[in-house]
Amino acid sequence: MNHYWWNGHVVETDMNLRRVAPCVSADPDLTVIQRHDPTGSPTSSALDDSHIRLSRRGSECRLMAPDAGQFTLSLSAARITFAAHGQPSANAIEHRLLQSVLPFFAALNGHLCLHAVAVSDTTGAATLWVGDTGLGKSTAGAGAVARGGRLICDDVALVRPTDDGLGVQLGARTLRLASPSPDQPRFPHADWFQNQTKRDYFVACPAPEQTFPVARVLFGRIQADGTRLWESAAEDPKSAVAELCGHAFGWEILTTAERGRLFGHIVDLTRQLV
């Protein structure tokens, strides 16, 4: 079995993952097992590969990804079982696991896993750009890095309560930029490499256990004229947290009680952000 860091968690799995940092064998927080008997027919091209179908019964949640297969999450056993449908690529399986399934698992275990980009400044304080796909989170984060910031994570950000407020942790990250042009920032760091097919950039976690204090949260808006605008969180902490939760992975499958616990847990810690 292999062991990897993912947003501060030790994941034990029989898969070979490329986008997260391996770690020394330890007591795992989560086990991921792949069934090696693919079922079903190959993915239909008519299906939207970005659409995941969710179902839940008690402590078990199922996520069907058309481009990969079915992930079954057992919260009571801290275990994920994956059953491939057809012959999905290893890249598709890993992408779904890191970008969708593990964030859902984190949400169901009381963490706020956001669709966001995080960059720290020279003092170590982090800014979060939060919003839906297409708003320019990666481009905004890339600009901050070009000005001397440090990329913490892209696309998936795990936010935790800390003694001083909210913190964001390093983790698996994928940086997606539009087609490169001369005026777009580049990443000269040797750890970056380009996937020519999707123009994706991946980097291993140098210190996944490190937590950066969140100093600012910016939400992406599309104005009436089509231009994009990044605005600070609402002045009211509860409103700010409500908007954060609206961009959290797994929020839609949490029970009312689970939402209440997660919401209430971080409201008071958000006052320094507004």
pLDDT at 273: 47
Instruction: Tell me how far apart the alpha carbons of residues 154 and 202 are, in angstroms, rounded to a whole number.
Output: 10
Predicted confidence (pLDDT) per residue in 109-149, tens digit? 666 778 888 888 989 899 999 888 778 887 888 788 888 88
Which DSSP symbol is given to 97? I
| Residue of higher predicted confidence among 240 and 49 | 240
Give strand pairing partners of 199. Answer: none
Instruction: Tell me how far apart the alpha carbons of residues 98 and 101 are, in angstroms, rounded to a whole number.
Output: 6
pLDDT at 199: 34
pLDDT at residue 171 greater than cutoff 90: no
The one-letter code for the residue type at 185 is: P
In terms of Cβ atoms closer than 10 Å to its own Cβ (0-12, 13-18, 19+), residue 183 is exposed
pLDDT at residue 248 greater than cutoff 60: yes
pLDDT at 259: 66
Tell me the pairing of strands 30-39 and 228-232: unpaired
pLDDT at residue 238 greater than cutoff 70: no
- Which residue, chain included where needed, has tokens 């599309």? 222
Predicted confidence (pLDDT) per residue in 90-115, tens digit? 888 988 888 778 877 777 766 677 88
Q: How confident is the model at residue 51 (pLDDT cuts 50, 70, 90)?
A: low
Q: How confident is the model at residue 15 (pLDDT cuts 50, 70, 90)?
A: very high
Whether the CB-CB separation of 71 and 86 falls below 8 Å is answered with: no
pLDDT at 193: 33
DSSP reduced 3-state for 251: helix
pLDDT at residue 69 greater than cutoff 50: yes
pLDDT at 269: 47
pLDDT at residue 258 greater than cutoff 70: no
Mean pLDDT value of segment 5-15: 82
Instruction: Tell me how far apart the alpha carbons of residues 126 and 151 are, in angstroms, rounded to a whole number.
Output: 9
DSSP 132-201: -TTS-HHHHHHHHHHTT-EEEEES-EEEEEETTEEEEE----EEE-SS--TTS-----TT-EEETTTTEE
DSSP reduced 3-state for 74: strand
* The two structure tokens encoding residue 69: 């297969």
| Residue of higher predicted confidence among 214 and 191 | 214
pLDDT at 37: 62
pLDDT at residue 182 greater than cutoff 50: no
Instruction: Tell me how far apart the alpha carbons of residues 33 and 153 are, in angstroms, rounded to a whole number.
Output: 25
Give the torsion sign (CA, 101, 103, 107, 109): positive
Q: Report percent pLDDT > 70 for the chain.
A: 62
DSSP reduced 3-state for 87: coil
Top-ranked range on mean pLDDT: pick from 39-43, 201-205, 234-238, 264-268 = 234-238
Predicted confidence (pLDDT) per residue in 208-222, tens digit? 557 888 888 888 888
